[in-house]
Amino acid sequence: NAGVTQTPKFRILKIGQSMTLQCAQDMNHNYMYWYRQDPGMGLKLIYYSVGAGITDKGEVPNGYNVSRSTTEDFPLRLELAAPSQTSVYFCASSPRVAGISTDTQYFGPGTRLTVL
Amino acid sequence: GIQVEQSPPDLILQEGANSTLRCNFSDSVNNLQWFHQNPWGQLINLFYIPSGTKQNGRLSATTVATERYSLLYISSSQTTDSGVYFCAVERRSGGSNYKLTFGKGTLLTVNP
């Protein structure tokens, strides 16, 4: 298993540009998450999904959109990039089963995004 | 929302020393995890431990849910233990709430 993969690893955007951060997992996990990590800080949840076709906002969703058309993929879209979105973005997945709390989250390697 | 405080914020050790990292949280939790972020940025799950004690090699963790804290013990530290250690918790109330709240982390540096 490749686990959780993210592309690209690095990206520089100009203000106002758009891009999609890709995330895929091959562990058949139903739950997937997007976080951002700012320097010296912990991770903050942007969006999450409990299964294909179901997404919900996290703590810091403004400026982002997500979709979940398949179990494997959970892309994150930035529509109008702003300097405040400069951060490291992590995707994660977990094998949750409803009603059973045996959860751990598995993280991808991250995407380092700079908006200039 | 739930608050997560980790201490100490920074810790410097000589190789071979032991250490204890602490995580305090402000409300009862359904989920608590410890993560290690290595110097290259990769996040690795160390423990899923909403209560009780677990051990994995030189690392062990204890969560006292009734007193709202968790401890991560690192024994005989090695330079490869360097990095940031995060505690993350989830409080699930009422309906679904699958959101981990992270502390700011403890930056551990192990010198040879």
Vertex A4 angle, CA B38 and A47, to 5°: 95
Asked whether the predicted pLDDT for residue A98 surpasses 70, the reply is: no
What is the Cα–Cα distance from B89 to B92, expressed in whole angstroms? Answer: 10
* Residue B98: φ, ψ to 5°: -90, 65
What is the Cα–Cα distance from A62 to A82, expressed in whole angstroms? Answer: 11
For B56, the 3-state DSSP assignment is strand
- The pLDDT tens digits for A19-54 are 999 999 999 998 999 999 998 888 999 999 988 999
DSSP label at A52?
T
First to last CA, chain B: 40
pLDDT, residue B77, reads: 97
Q: Provide residues of A within 8 Å CB-CB of chain B.
A: 31, 33, 40-45, 48, 50, 58-59, 88, 90, 92, 96, 101-107, 109-110
B32: how many CB neighbours lie within 10 A of its CB?
23
- The pLDDT tens digits for A46-82 are 999 988 999 999 989 999 999 999 999 999 999 899 9
Give the residue, B29 or B74, on which the prediction is more confident. B74
* Burial (Cβ within 10 Å: 0-12, 13-18, ≥19) of residue A111: buried
Nearest residue in chain B measured CA to CA from A99: B96
Between residues 2 and 61 of chain B, which touch chain A (CB distance below 8 Å)? 4, 30-31, 33, 35, 41-45, 48, 50
Asked whether the predicted pLDDT for residue A7 surpasses 70, the reply is: yes
> Residue A115: which region, alpha, beta or left (left: phi > 0; alpha: psi -120 to 50)?
beta
**What is the rounded radius of gyration, in angstroms, for the C-alpha atoms of chain A?**
14
- The pLDDT tens digits for B25-55 are 999 888 899 999 998 899 999 999 999 999 9
Place of tokens 């700079």: A114
